[in-house]
Amino acid sequence: MSILIKGMEMSKCCGICPYNKSSCYCGITKSEIDRDYEYAERLANCPLVLVPPHGDLIDRDVLISNHTIDQYDWSEVIDVEDVRNAPIIIEAEEE
């Protein structure tokens, strides 16, 4: 499971990350941060992911499970209304 913290900026390096504990320890990965590396970039195993500006993010699995079968060629069809009515997981965010 993941957590989205709305309004939080992505840290460019471990040295300014809010999860950096005492400047040499990552509170998320529970790993030490080399002082030479601390302000250069984030650790390779950093689990933080930048979520770019986006429209509403929907649950694709729910959308697919509610699909309809086209009676003429038996292919799977997802109607525009199905997309419009899909459950929103994360609301739209603008830049």
pLDDT of residue 23: 67
**Alpha helix locations (H) across the chain?**
60-65, 80-84
Which residues in the chain land under pLDDT 50?
A: none
pLDDT of residue 56: 92
pLDDT of residue 62: 83
**CA 54, 56, 61, 65 torsion-angle sign:** negative
Q: Where are the domains of the chain?
A: 10-50, 57-90
Specify the pTM: 0.63
